[in-house]
Amino acid sequence: MPHNIDLHAVNGPGGGAAVTNVAPGETMTFTFTALNPGAYIYHCAFVPAWRHIAQGMYGGILVEPRGGLPPVDREFYILQGEWYTSGSFGAKGHQEFNEAKALAEQPDYFTFNGHTAALTELYPLEANVGEVVRLYFGTGGPNVGSNFHIIGEIFDKVITGSPDTYVANEETWYVPPGSMSAFEFTLNMPGTYLLVDHALYRVSKGAAGALKVSGDQENSIYSPAP
């Protein structure tokens, strides 16, 4: 079927979708000037756009300010999406897209980076004590936003929109469908930290990840009972 691309970082009709409609076997090119620094979603917008997004056709685009963002020790990129299938949660075999569930906004799965085990069993995030992390987190949707939270961490900065304006010392941040935010934090303690959508029943449907932090324990910050 035909496709196109709508980049939320583009100022112009359809974010580029108006000039990138391609049939199978075709290619299309357009140019744009990135006017606004920040992290943004892109997605297929061919009619019906919501059906294409619901089947995973989205990603993130980062527009850095001139000179770049301040350096950090590690950067990670996570996108949450939801899936509407003909079978129930955990059903085996090929599953067709279920339009009725999508219209009712009743997903069977929530995923980080496209798979229920992507950031837990397959590719958990890794870092070290003392490092500063910048984590870009977006929500592809098409229907449901995310209440992003890392259990056991406070975000030093939450950047939504311009990197010049941020919120300090935040615990949980709502990222609406079709949006990205950046989260900066410093790792003080070793251990495994759980990343979740804090609408917590979604964790049981796959919205979870792990950040494994290596290094020395600092008992003045956190000391397990003897």
pLDDT tens for 187-200 read 999 999 999 999 99
- Label residues 61-87 b or e (16+ Cβ within 10 Å = b): bbeeeeeeeeeeeeebbbbbbbbbbee
- The better pLDDT of the pair 223, 38 is held by 38
pLDDT at residue 20 tops 70: yes
Backbone angles phi, psi at 55, to 5 degrees: -110, 25
- Which CATH code fits 74-214? 2.60.40.420
Q: Do 6-63 and 74-214 have matching folds? A: yes
Is 177 in contact with 140 (CB distance < 8 Å)?
Answer: yes
What are the C-alpha distances in Å from 129 to residues 133, 134, 152, 186, 190?
A: 10, 14, 14, 8, 6
pLDDT per position as a tens digit, 65-81: 999 999 999 999 999 99
Ranges of each domain in the chain = 6-63, 74-214
Mean pLDDT for 93-106 is: 96
Grade residue 225 by pLDDT with cuts at 50, 70 and 90: low
Mean pLDDT for 131-135 is: 98
> Model-level pTM?
0.95
- First-last CA distance in the chain: 62
pLDDT over 70 for what percent of the chain? Answer: 99
Grade residue 226 by pLDDT with cuts at 50, 70 and 90: low
pLDDT at residue 224 tops 80: no
Residue 223 has a pLDDT of: 86
Instruction: Determine the Cα–Cα distance for residues 136 and 117; give it in Å rounded to an integer.
Output: 19
Is 83 in contact with 108 (CB distance < 8 Å)?
Answer: yes
* Architecture in CATH for domain 6-63: Sandwich (2.60)
Is 170 in contact with 154 (CB distance < 8 Å)?
Answer: yes
3-state secondary structure of 131: coil
pLDDT per position as a tens digit, 149-179: 999 999 999 999 999 999 999 999 999 999 9
As given in the structure block, the two tokens for residue 68 are 């770049």
